[in-house]
A = this chain, B = another copy of it.
Amino acid sequence: MKKGAQTKQQILEQATKLLQSQGYHATGIAQLAGEAPKGSLYFHFPGGKEEIAASAVRLSGERLASDLQLALSSCQDAGEALALVIDFLGQRLEESGYREGCPVATVALEVAHESEPIRMACADSFARWEEALRARLASLGISGERGESLAIFILSAIEGGLLLARARRSLEPLRVVAAQVRRLVAEPCS
């Protein structure tokens, strides 16, 4: 019971990292399996690579969602908190040699058209993050449709910033996004 779940978890752990940095198609089953023999892998994930990827994406999504919630609630100034979160993502990106960007985006773009389960796992992850943002904005008094729009916009900007930063091998886009987002949240009128 314990051993089994442990192996499964280890595979998922490995998968989240590999999918984040290499994407779906560049990551082979052997790599996903890591130490575990292929036979065990297909015991735990009868759905094969697709199932592993979907699970891994979900795991990444939940983790980042809870990190996000924690970070946003730990700082009184929401704009400040967002900027810190973005900086943190940028730091991780840089320290990994611009390999670890958004843990979901690459897979999402690669398989959006060929695997519904994975696509839905990605969409759910994005929805979770958006919801975390929306909730924090609501606590600032930015609620209703405006809150939702702002949450989507901020999430878009962050995802785009991570993408540009990776392609450029530079943190500048992320820094710009952080600054603009902070201002956006701080603005009383808009």
Report A's interface with B, CB cutoff 8 A.
21-26, 97-99, 101, 104-106, 108-110, 112-114, 119, 122-123, 126-127, 148-150, 152-153, 155-161, 163-164, 166-169, 172-173, 176-177, 179-180, 183, 187, 190
If over half of A's interface residues share one DSSP class (helix, strand or loop), that class is named, otherwise mixed; here it is helix
Checking B106, B119, B148, B190 against A187 with a beta-carbon cut-off of 8 angstroms, the contacting residue is: B190
Query: Would B168 and A180 count as touching, CB distance under 8 A?
Result: no
Query: Would B112 and A98 count as touching, CB distance under 8 A?
Result: yes
Checking B22, B156, B179 against A161 with a beta-carbon cut-off of 8 angstroms, the contacting residue is: B156
Query: Would A119 and B149 count as touching, CB distance under 8 A?
Result: no
Residues of B within 8 A of A106 (CB): 106, 109-110
> What CA separation (Å) do A104 and B49 show in the bound complex?
25
Query: 18 extra interchain contacts, Cβ-Cβ under 8 A, other than A98-B113, A99-B113?
Result: A23-B109, A25-B25, A25-B110, A99-B112, A101-B109, A105-B109, A105-B163, A106-B106, A108-B167, A109-B163, A110-B110, A122-B167, A123-B169, A126-B164, A152-B164, A152-B176, A156-B158, A160-B160
> What CA separation (Å) do A25 and B107 show in the bound complex?
12
Query: Would B110 and A167 count as touching, CB distance under 8 A?
Result: no
> What CA separation (Å) do A101 and B126 show in the bound complex?
17
List the 8 closest pairs (A to B, CB-CB), nearest first: A156-B160, A160-B160, A25-B25, A159-B160, A106-B109, A108-B167, A153-B180, A156-B161
